[in-house]
Amino acid sequence: MTDFDRAVEAAEFLRGRGFGGADVAVVLGSGLGDFADGLAEPFEVAYRDIPHWPAAGVVGHAGRLVGGLTRGRKVMALAGRVHFYEGHPLATVTFAMRVLGRLGVPRVILTNAAGGINTRFAQGALMLIDDHINLMGTNPLVGPNDERFGARFPDMSEIYSKRLREHAAAAAADAGVPLEHGVYIAVHGPSYETPAEIRAFRVWGADAVGMSTAPEAIVARHEGMDVLGISCITNMAAGVLPAPLRHDEVMETARRVKGQFIAVLEGTIERC
């Protein structure tokens, strides 16, 4: 069975449970899963019950797919994701994007908890991803290309949709939520970065660092979907503040700003 066949089988399973025809899908990062609980007319399925779909295994990732409505739009919320650092190949990490493509979802919003590299950013700030640097050491499109997914050499000059970024900026302004802009750098993990690495990333032009998102964005664009990325700056990166980094701090900060985060998401989706 090919990766395409697996994606088709998972999509057919989900279509039979009402997940077809979504206007937008939202991938919810660490500690950001509360958005899924606010959907109207909700229905859900656990990742473990979807054919070939990998189960989320990190604290803060619920591992469920929730369908429903927000502001008149049909939404699929992916409460949790799997990560490269867990030992999964990137084809597994990005499997959800392949399934969304088979379901015909036109746009996806990728969210994450990230470390702040830009010293202007406050802990708890929301950052609109204008571009990214993939420092994971590989690319999810490595290997034979199945043209049913997309072209061999997809263009990445506007990997994060300008139109969707404008919608998100307008939504944040209407909600009174400050919104930063910046470049996200994706690293392998799972160890946090060293202070020397953070200094190097800053020189390269990175504003925030994390261990996800870039592979999903690449595959979503390969599928022809429009992509929006939003980082929640849940902690300052190594060396920015004189304190060690902790995952529980990530979760605490995400909980603190969840109201602002949800307001921006809902306003953005309304404009899609």
Active site residue 211: yes
Going through the chain in order, the beta strands assigned E by DSSP cover 24-28, 40-46, 64-70, 73-79, 107-116, 126-135, 179-187, 208-210, 226-236
- Distant-in-sequence, close-in-space partners of 154: CB < 8 Å, separation ≥ 6: 141, 218, 221, 222
Active site residue 30: yes
Q: How far apart are CA 94 and CA 140, in angstroms?
A: 7
Q: Which of 235, 237, 238, 266 is catalytic?
A: 235
Q: Which of 7, 25, 76, 113 is catalytic?
A: 113
Active site residue 132: no
Q: What is the number of other CB atoms lying within 10 angstroms of the CB of residue 59?
A: 11
Taking the alpha carbons at both ends of the chain, their separation in whole angstroms is: 35
Active site residue 231: no
Q: Please give the radius of gyration of the chain, using alpha carbons only, rounded to the nearest integer.
A: 17
Q: Which of 88, 156, 200, 247 is catalytic?
A: 247
Active site residue 113: yes
Q: Which of 79, 83, 97, 134 is catalytic?
A: 83
Active site residue 184: no
Q: Which of 25, 47, 56, 61 is catalytic?
A: 61
Q: Which of 30, 112, 118, 161 is catalytic?
A: 30
Q: How far apart are CA 227 and CA 214, in angstroms?
A: 11
Q: How far apart are CA 76 and CA 65, in angstroms?
A: 7
Q: How far is residue 88 from each of residues 56, 123, 188, measured CA to CA in Å?
A: 11, 30, 12
Active site residue 86: yes
Q: Which of 56, 114, 186, 211 is catalytic?
A: 211
Q: Which of 55, 85, 91, 252 is catalytic?
A: 85
Q: Which of 9, 12, 44, 86 is catalytic?
A: 86
Cα dihedral across residues 235, 238, 241, 243: positive or negative: positive
Angle at 53 between CA 50 and CA 56, to 5 degrees: 110
Active site residue 181: no
Which residues are annotated as catalytic?
30, 61, 83, 85-86, 113, 211-212, 235, 247
